[in-house]
Amino acid sequence: MSWNFAGKTAVLTGAGSGFGLECARIGARLGMNLVLADVQPDALERAAVELREMGAQVLAQRVDVSKAADVEALGAATLERFGAPHLVFNNAGVGGGGLVWENTAQDWEWIFGVNVMGVAHGVRVFTPMMLAAAKLDPHWRGHIVNTASMAGLVNPPNMGVYNASKHAVVSLTETLYQDLALVTDQISASVLCPFFVPTGIALSQRNRPLDATGTNVDPSSSQRVAQAMLARAVEGGKVSAAEVAQRVFAAVSSAQFYIYSHPQALAGVQTRMEDVLQSRNPSDPFAHRPALGEELRKALRGN
């Protein structure tokens, strides 16, 4: 499946920062039409101005991907302005941590709403219009990229709600790949599984909706520990969002399904798979970094 991106249309959620913005920049340089969606209107507007100055045709729309109606409206606007998109990047996501029993109902609803239902809505809205376009033109090509995480392939402790959401995205995308292969040779899919990359995800709480009383519950001690450790790990990341965006476009061009920012992290995936295949208890995730494990245990036990 060869790709010429010039003149094609890309839909990108979470386009105001991180992977979404960096992929939009690549798309602009390649001559793509860009549909930008983000929940932050200020970041969205800055991105739209920048990309228009690069010469791209841009449709920018504020979208909360957890809301079906918002994504459906984005789909209708895309179809009206540019027709069916050739590349859909279901990328918007939020972080969350803490001991799994300490996550509130609101935590689960917010994180699954964005990370899982946001991807599901993107697949549900855009895939049918892509299939319709492919049916009309045997040369038409499309690709869907969903952002998961290495946390969708392994299960680091004190991150249960996030892990579960990203495992769901991996499963959804693997199934999407297989389902598409049953009905078309013109559209395929990839899953992006980044490790620690500076993208702004450590600041996800800034976009968290208020609860019914107009407030948010203060984070638990384990959630504060998770936020601090995530921020430190992300800030120390040596792979940039721009580098990951290049890998996304390379994967689309070569029809590669799994996209990694840190292939060396696959050692943890191999260990987990061996645990499953050998029916052994889950391995110590800190076997190669015992000091980090001890730090986390002390923090959570209040020592």
pLDDT at 102 (0 to 100): 94
CATH number at residue 49: 3.40.50.720
Number of continuous H segments (helices) and E segments (strands) in the chain? 10, 7
Torsion of CA 131, 166, 145, 21, to 10 degrees: 130
HSE of 187, CA atoms in CB hemisphere, 13 A: 26
Of 162, 177, 258, 260, which one is the catalytic site residue?
162
Six token digits for residue 48 = 């739209």
Phi, psi of 45 (to 5 degrees): -65, -40
**Residue 200, SS3?**
coil
| CB-count exposure of residue 274 (10 Å: 0-12, 13-18, 19+) | exposed
Residue 292 forms part of a structural domain: no
Residue 77 forms part of a structural domain: yes
Q: Which positions ≥6 away from 129 have C-beta within 8 Å?
A: 75, 79, 84, 85
Residue 261 forms part of a structural domain: yes
Residue 290 forms part of a structural domain: no
Structural domain that includes position 218? 9-265
Q: Provide the residue-wise pLDDT of the chain in tens; the chain has 303 residues.
A: 468 999 999 999 999 999 999 999 999 999 999 999 999 999 999 999 999 999 999 999 999 999 999 999 999 999 999 999 999 999 999 999 999 999 999 999 999 999 999 999 999 999 999 999 999 999 999 999 999 999 999 999 999 999 999 999 999 999 999 999 999 999 999 999 998 776 555 444 555 565 544 556 678 888 888 887 777 666 666 789 999 999 999 999 999 999 999 999 899 999 999 999 999 999 999 998 898 889 999 999 885
Whether 258 is a known active-site residue: answer no
Q: How far is CA 105 from CA 94, 112, 227, in A?
A: 16, 11, 19
pLDDT at 109 (0 to 100): 96
pTM: 0.91
pLDDT at 227 (0 to 100): 81
Residue 300 forms part of a structural domain: no
| Domain total of the chain | 1
Total count of residues recorded for the chain: 303
Q: What angle do CA 14, 176, 265 make, to 5 degrees?
A: 65
Residue 295 forms part of a structural domain: no
HSE of 242, CA atoms in CB hemisphere, 13 A: 2
Q: Which positions ≥6 away from 51 have C-beta within 8 Å?
A: 24, 25, 28, 34, 36, 58
Residue 278 forms part of a structural domain: no
Residue 291 forms part of a structural domain: no
Residue 152 contacts residue 193 (beta carbons within 8 Å): yes
